[in-house]
A = this chain, B = another copy of it.
Amino acid sequence: MIAMRTQERLIESARALLWERGYVGTSPKAILEHAGAGQGSMYHHFKGKSDLALTAIRRTCAELLGTAEALLCGPGTPYERIEAYLLRERDVLRGCPVGRLTMDPEIIASAELRAPVDETLDRLRERLAGTVEEGKERGQFPPHLDGEEIAATVLATVQGGYVLARASGSPAAFDTGVRGLLSLLRSDTDQVA
């Protein structure tokens, strides 16, 4: 945080605290202390808490979408790309920095704050759905599977995996759920390139 401008430190501090404590659980004071800034700085660069949060959330969403799309548009067969997305390294116990926001009452109550979250998960679903459809065309997945449905299942398994892991205090439950999903997808996979 040392070599950043104050505005930048505020955004990064807000991102970290929103991930850890959510919107309701994050106070301007906590952000300012984390950023090493005085009370007035935030109100110079942003209209208030929600304005700073919106900037932070948009950046987090963009980053997450970039990471996921890189894997889903990368090399390999459709199954392999979905597998890569599911098995990618994650800080499981911290939860999903985007998904966790959906449990925050003030994020859901604000159309503006919810919008980037909605858009991010929606694009991820589209990308996953496209990958499944491509797998069907290539004969890797059977035609009776629905791309949109499987996409939602894959994304839900990931988001719910975080819930199970955090409840148990261990990443194991996340991995177990993912392995189960992969075994179901493999059952349907003709091992064809």
A→B interface (CB under 8 Å):
20-22, 24-25, 95-96, 99-100, 102-106, 108, 114, 117-118, 121-122, 125, 142, 144-146, 148-164, 166-169, 173-174, 176-181, 183-185, 187-188
Contacts and interface: CB of A to CB of B under 8 A. Distances in A.
Contact of A156 (B102, B163, B184): B163
Contacts of A168: 118, 121-122
A155 B160 contact: yes
Given A22-B22, A177-B156, A121 B187 contact: no
A103 B22 contact: yes
Q: How many copies does the complex hold?
A: 2
A85 to B, nearest CB: 14
Contact of A183 (B149, B158, B163): B149
A180 B152 contact: yes
Nearest to A156: B160
Best-buried of A100, A162, A164 by chain B (most CB within 10 Å):
A164
Most buried by B among A155, A156, A158, A178: A156
A167 B121 contact: yes
A114 B169 contact: yes
A167 B118 contact: yes
